[in-house]
Amino acid sequence: MSILIQIIIYGLSLGMLYFLLSSGFSLIFGLMGVLNFAHGSMFMWGCYLGYILSLSTGSFLFGIIGAAVCIGVMGLVMEKWLIQPLRGNQLRQILLTFGLIYVLEELAKVIFGTRAYMQFPPEWLSGSAHIFSETVPQYRLFMIFAGVIVFLLMTLLLKKTKLGMIIRAGTDKPRMVQAIGINVARIFSITFALGCALAGLGGAIATPFLGAYPTIDMEQVFNAIAVVIIGGVGSFTGAFYASVILGFISYITSYFVPELSMASTLLAMLVVVMIRPNGLFGGKTSEN
Amino acid sequence: MKTKNKLVLALALLAAVLVVPALIGSSYIHSIIITICIYSIFAISYDLLLGYTGIVSFGHTVYFGVAAYVVAFTTVKLHWPFLAAVGMVIVVCVAISFIFSLVTLRTKNVYFSMVTMAIGQLFYVMSTKLYAITGGDDGLPGVKSIFPNKTVFYIAAVLILVCVYLFSKRLVNSPAGRVLQGVKENDARIGMLGYNTFKFKSIVIQISGLLAGLAGILYVNLNGIATPSILNSSMTLQILFMVILGGVGTLHGPVIGAAIMQIASIVLSGFTTRWMLIFGIGFVVVMLFFPKGVAGVFDRFSQPNQLRKE
């Protein structure tokens, strides 16, 4: 019984982390067709900025929100100067974002050094909670809470607002949206910034759990890729379910076979590619 | 007449490259040029996929790295003779590339890129975790070079590069090579014409995997050690940069790119430990403004009257 609760809480919190990481990746890819390999780097910068902002202001909440805003602005700049000029040329966009991984990683090493930063959760989250006689860290519960809140807010945004409607329409029929006179370039900028902000938020929330260190970008971008492949492109709820599934797979393997923990998400992804190339939860076809 | 001039020029260049440094060069300079040859072979093999077939694989270092590891493991741990190790590399590279193509060719375009990148990372993770086979982060040291000295190695490396270049040139100009270039332009149409595009793509992945494996064999001979860093995705970036800097879709481009990259990395690493930053920025600038690379700029000046095929 106790191990079951442990697996549920730990797996779910890991899944929420993957969701925060990959929801923006999936959103950008679904709408714009831009495969932003530098998404993990955005996450890493979110880790660093969250750490520094919450340390300098003394407020953890300010740290995570500040990190999200900063990375959002970073995404806006990146979209404007690097992604937009190459619009329509998917290959060059992919290669460019692949190169950006190294620019952002080396830049982080220059500024923050190569050491790992450890951050303690704020006092009001550092205790432990009791669920059915099982003791779990409060921070894990906070991660689940944050993931669910972001999921609900994003679902509201996508289903109930005009922007969300345009994003959903643009994901399905981009040409049609342009044809009825919507400024697609502006929507792309907003979506890209939003996706990056989500990565920054995820990074800042992950720091007390994972720490901030230079290779975290590569480790995490593969989780984002795995989520998108398993969840299906352009499917926001698909990304949510896929994240939860991967969270459980990842936690269960790291519990029983620690050596495989880093490879488990990649293996799960390859299995899905073999069985259902379009992902488990529909979405667009892989022809796109 | 023109082709004859070209041939004479190429032969003279080859003779100069072979003779001059062999007479006066130090062992250090030989090592640099051997490294350039190795990366040129690797980059040519990558360009067969990227430039000629339109396959954007981010997992190409797998063959290079696995070949190096296979040689290191079989010769150091199992004490096999070198030729047996080479045979093993061929078997392993063909097997891996066949499985690789089975898995990855189920997906297209962007998906393909993601899956290949994930497979590359899988091999990297395995190389750091499977301590019994790969030696973990420390790698597998102690590989003895089959070449008696650097000068012989140098001459062999240049000759192997020339062979690989000529083989690739023959390949891309053969009927099969034309089909591959057709696949790059319009996959579906080639399929409609009755060609089994899966088979062609699978074969080119295997050929390119073998060539990358050849580069890996030479690499481990030069450096004497196989480490996880050769399976890292930063290796993919470097090889990608060589091909793109030199010029995608040409066979001399990757060689130019490899030479520029290698010399630049030696010069830059003298100034700063963060030379990958400069590479990265350079890569982004090239991607934004010069997608055809150095060879593209060169072609533009050398053939001003020809209509360039896009």
Task: Tell me the per-residue pLDDT of A154-202, one tens digit each, with 9 for 90 and over.
Answer: 999 988 999 888 888 887 787 888 888 888 888 889 999 999 999 999 9
In this prediction, residue B308 carries a pLDDT of 40
Q: DSSP class of residue B51?
A: I
- pLDDT of B55 > 60? The answer is yes
Indicate the helix (H) or strand (E) that contains B87.
helix B82-104
Q: Chain A window 13-32: which residues touch B at a Cβ cutoff of 8 Å?
A: 29
**pLDDT at A103 (0 to 100):** 92
Instruction: Please give the average per-residue pLDDT across B121-146, as a whole number.
Output: 86
Closest to A248 in 3D by CA, of A236, A232, A235, A230: A230
Q: What's the confidence (pLDDT) of residue B249?
A: 85
What angle, 0 to 180 degrees and rounded to 10, lies between the N-to-C axes of helices A216-231 and A261-275?
Answer: 30
Domain-embedded: residue A175: yes
Radius of gyration, CA atoms only, chain B:
19
Mutate to test the interface with B, among A35, A41, A79, A91 (most CBs of B within 10 A): A91
A168 lies in some domain? yes
Which spans in A82-161 are helix H? 90-112, 138-160
Residues of the domain holding A19: 13-112+138-213
Instruction: Tell me the C-alpha distance between B163 and B211, whole Å.
Output: 11
**Which of A96, A102, A273 is the closest to B106 by Cβ?**
A273
CB atoms within 10 A of CB B36: 22
* Buried-exposed string B58-95: b where 16+ CB fall within 10 A, e elsewhere: bbbbbbbbbbbbbbbbbbbeeebebeebbebbbebbbe
Tell me which of A4 and B40 has the higher pLDDT.
B40
Task: Tally the domains of chain A.
Answer: 1
Cα dihedral value B302, B304, B306, B310, nearest 10: 90
Tokens 């090889």 — which residue? B239
Cα–Cα distance for residue pair A27/A34, rounded to 1 Å: 10
Asked if the C-beta of A108 comes within 8 angstroms of chain B's C-beta atoms, the answer is: no
Residue B301 scores a pLDDT above 70: no
Confidence label for B92 from pLDDT (cuts 50, 70 and 90): very high
- Cβ within 8 Å, pair B122-A270: yes
Q: How far apart are CA B123 and CA B133, in angstroms?
A: 13
Tell whether A285 is covered by a domain. Answer: no
User: A100, B280: Cβ pair inside 8 Å?
Assistant: yes
Half-sphere exposure of A11 (CA within 13 A, CB side): 20
Residues 32-61 in A contacting B (C-alpha not used; CB under 8 Å): 33, 35, 37
Over chain B, what is the mean pLDDT?
85
The b-or-e profile of A30-65 (16+ CB within 10 A means b, else e) is: bbbbbbbbbbbbbbbbbbbbbbbbbeeeeebeebbb
Identify the three-state secondary structure at position A235: coil
Average pLDDT over residues B210-219: 94
ipTM: 0.83
* A130 within domain boundaries: no
Contact: B115, A96; criterion CB under 8 Å? no
Instruction: Answer whether residue A256 is part of any domain.
Output: no
Residues of A in Cβ contact (< 8 Å) with B105: none
What lies within 8 Å, CB to CB, of B143 at 6+ separation is: B71, B72, B75, B76, B220, B221, B223, B224, B225, B226
Residue in B104, B280, B291 nearest the CB of A103: B280
Do the domain assignments include residue A224? no
pLDDT tens sequence for chain A (288 residues): 678 888 899 999 999 999 999 999 988 988 888 889 999 999 999 999 999 999 999 889 999 999 999 999 999 999 999 998 888 788 888 889 988 998 999 999 999 988 888 888 888 888 787 777 778 888 999 999 999 999 999 999 988 999 888 888 887 787 888 888 888 888 889 999 999 999 999 999 999 988 899 888 888 998 999 998 898 877 888 899 999 999 999 999 988 888 777 788 888 988 888 888 777 876 554 333
Residue A79: per-residue pLDDT:
93
Nearest-angstrom CA–CA distance, B177 and A58: 63
Amino acid at the residue B132:
A
Helices B252-271 + B27-47 axis angle, to 10: 130
Evaluate if residue B300 carries a pLDDT over 60: no
pLDDT tens digits, B223-239 = 989 999 899 888 888 89
Q: What is the mean pLDDT of residues B265-281?
A: 84
Report yes or no on A21 lying in a domain. Answer: yes
Classify residue B133 as left (phi > 0), alpha (psi -120 to 50) or beta.
alpha
**Per the domain annotation, does A58 fall within a domain?**
yes
Q: Which residue from B114, B119, B284 is facing A96, i.e. has the nearest CB? A: B284
